[in-house]
Amino acid sequence: IFPLGAVPKPLEPSEVRPVSDHTKSGIKAATNEEGLRHSLTALQDIEREFKFGYSMVVGDIDAAYPLLPLAWWIWPFFMFVWYDIDASDSASFMRLYMHVTGDFGTSGLPGTFKIFFSDVVVGMARSESILTLPLPVYVDDCSLIGRCQRFLMREWGNFKGFLLALGIFMKDIKERAAAQVQLVLGFWWDSIARSRTLDAKKLDAYRGMLKEF
């Protein structure tokens, strides 16, 4: 049984993301990650594809890891205890719960999601010519890049429709329309000035941390 925590979502102050502490469940020790290790190349991909005058549209997959169902033989690793309220007498007590889909905190899930989304789903979209433009992917963050904004937004809409048919949703709150100056992965990318600038909020946070150190 593992402890369950939560962290606030930056763009949704009233929402939190549950985080599983799997250092206690034993799933890490029982996981073979040999075929799941991979490199995150989104920064280098954007550097290569975001050429002069190009635009970029960005989006984020909603509840990415819970899209992945867990095989029944690993269910014993995904049990946790949580406090609940009984409606009849308002007494507080603890209940045993179990995740049956992917969660945040499991060591093998980033590699598993990469195979599912980047390799399989994006590969399917390309094989059907729904996706023709470069699409750097950083875990569940997608950046579609192209020269013509109208064509770029049309392909983005087609891709979202393709994902929707598979039961994969994009977060509306995190979507940003095609632009030549775009915020992606904590940086402002400018295809006219050919520059990459750290976001002001992150810069202030890093300065504060450095002063504290």
- Contact 145/58 with Cβ under 8 angstroms? no
Q: Read off the DSSP letter of residue 146.
A: E
Please tell me the predicted confidence (pLDDT) of residue 92: 64
pLDDT digits (tens, 9 = 90+) for 33-71: 888 989 999 999 999 999 999 999 999 999 899 999 999
pLDDT digits (tens, 9 = 90+) for 114-155: 999 999 999 999 999 999 999 999 999 999 999 999 999 999
10-15: average pLDDT: 77
Please tell me the predicted confidence (pLDDT) of residue 147: 97
Please tell me the predicted confidence (pLDDT) of residue 193: 96
Please tell me the predicted confidence (pLDDT) of residue 14: 82
Please tell me the predicted confidence (pLDDT) of residue 28: 84
| Torsion sign, CA atoms 109, 112, 118, 122 | negative
Q: Read off the DSSP letter of residue 174.
A: G
Please tell me the predicted confidence (pLDDT) of residue 12: 76
Please tell me the predicted confidence (pLDDT) of residue 8: 86
pLDDT surpassing 70 at residue 156? yes
pLDDT surpassing 70 at residue 85? no
Sheet holding 187-190, edge to edge: 181-184, 187-190, 195-198
Please tell me the predicted confidence (pLDDT) of residue 60: 95
- Contact 132/156 with Cβ under 8 angstroms? no
pLDDT surpassing 80 at residue 10? no
pLDDT surpassing 60 at residue 87? no
CA 65-69-71 angle, 5° bins: 130
Cα 88 from chain centroid?
A: 39
Cα 94 from chain centroid?
A: 31
- SS3 call for 76: helix
Who wins on pLDDT, 95 or 137?
A: 137
Who wins on pLDDT, 96 or 130?
A: 130
Average pLDDT, the chain: 91
pTM of the predicted model, to two decimals? Answer: 0.86
Name the β-bridge partners of 141: 60, 138
Structure-derived torsion over alpha carbons of residues 50, 54, 59, 65, reported in degrees to the nearest 10: -30
Please tell me the predicted confidence (pLDDT) of residue 91: 58
Please tell me the predicted confidence (pLDDT) of residue 148: 96
- 100's CB contacts (< 8 A; 6+ apart) are 69, 70, 75, 78
Q: How far is CA 95 from CA 1, 34, 119, 132, 162, in A?
A: 12, 35, 38, 48, 39
pLDDT surpassing 70 at residue 88? no
In whole angstroms, what is the distance from residue 86 CA to residue 99 CA? 21
Please tell me the predicted confidence (pLDDT) of residue 201: 87
